[in-house]
């Protein structure tokens, strides 16, 4: 989990990368939330390709005109992220998510899925979210949909893992063939573990 590249995307699923927008999750001293403002949420969403450049610019303009609404969406995004973190962390430990978190997740899902519709484009049918009453939360439905698709997938939840680097705490979807991935990134937490083992052997 890199400090030099705050938008390091290693989760392999949009919902995992969204959850990983907190550095050093398991540390009380180093923990740092990337979403310190609505603009930061928009910036990350642009980097994650959830928003286009034009959408991001429009949302920032809207946020300037409605700062309280933007602040409410930021709080909503952080609450959703933390619920998802606890749920998928439990899943990575092979335990059911807390009922209260599942209820909160379902509440968010029911709110946004009311705007889901089937669109016919270029000879194909696709699912898309209509614009909600509050355009400032445009980035949240695709993230939520990513989580829903993972939660309801067959035989894929066992690939949800938590980085073994302490106190990283990041979650990821293990795409390795033999399901052997242990770190958020070999170049980061994996390398630190390697250096630590080398140091301990030399003692």
The pairing of strands 32-33 and 124-129 is: unpaired
Please, which contacts does 126-133 make with residues 24 or more away whose CB atoms are closer than 8 Å?
A: none
What confidence score (pLDDT) does residue 4 get? 41
For residue range 16-54, list pLDDT tens digits in order. 999 999 999 888 888 999 999 999 999 999 999 999 999
Alpha helices in 95-184 (DSSP H): 99-113, 140-151
To the nearest 10 degrees (0 to 180), the angle between helices 53-65 and 38-47 is 170
Q: Give the whole-angstrom CA distance, residue 5 versus residue 200.
A: 28
Chain centroid to CA 20: how far?
6
Alpha helices in 114-181 (DSSP H): 140-151
What confidence score (pLDDT) does residue 195 get? 54
Residue 65's SS3 state is helix
* Residues of the chain below pLDDT 70: 1-6, 131-134, 187-188, 190-203
What confidence score (pLDDT) does residue 2 get? 38
What confidence score (pLDDT) does residue 10 get? 93
What confidence score (pLDDT) does residue 198 get? 46
How is residue 131 annotated by DSSP?
A: P
How is residue 135 annotated by DSSP?
A: G
Query: 42: Cβ–Cβ under 8 A, 6 or more apart, which residues?
Result: 51, 56, 59, 60, 63, 139
């Amino acid at each position: 989990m890199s400090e030099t590249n705050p938008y390091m995307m290693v989760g392999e699923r949009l919902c995992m990368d969204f959850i990983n927008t907190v550095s050093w999750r398991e540390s009380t001293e180093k923990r740092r939330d990337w979403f310190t403002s609505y603009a930061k949420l928009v910036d990350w969403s642009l980097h994650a390709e959830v928003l286009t450049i034009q959408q991001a610019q429009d949302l920032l303009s809207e946020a300037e005109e409605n700062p309280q609404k933007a602040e409410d969406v930021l709080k909503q995004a952080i609450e959703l992220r933390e619920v998802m973190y606890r749920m998928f962390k439990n899943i990575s430990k092979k335990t059911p998510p807390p009922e209260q978190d599942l209820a909160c997740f379902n509440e968010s899902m029911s709110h946004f899925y009311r705007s889901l519709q089937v669109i016919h484009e270029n000879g194909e049918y696709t699912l898309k979210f209509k614009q909600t009453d509050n355009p400032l939360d445009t980035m949240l439905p695709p993230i939520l949909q990513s989580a829903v698709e993972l939660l309801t997938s067959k035989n894929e939840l066992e690939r949800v893992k938590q980085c073994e680097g302490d106190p990283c705490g990041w979650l990821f979807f293990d795409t390795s063939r033999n399901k052997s991935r242990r770190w958020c990134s070999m170049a980061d937490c994996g390398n630190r573990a390697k250096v630590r083992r080398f140091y301990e052997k030399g003692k």
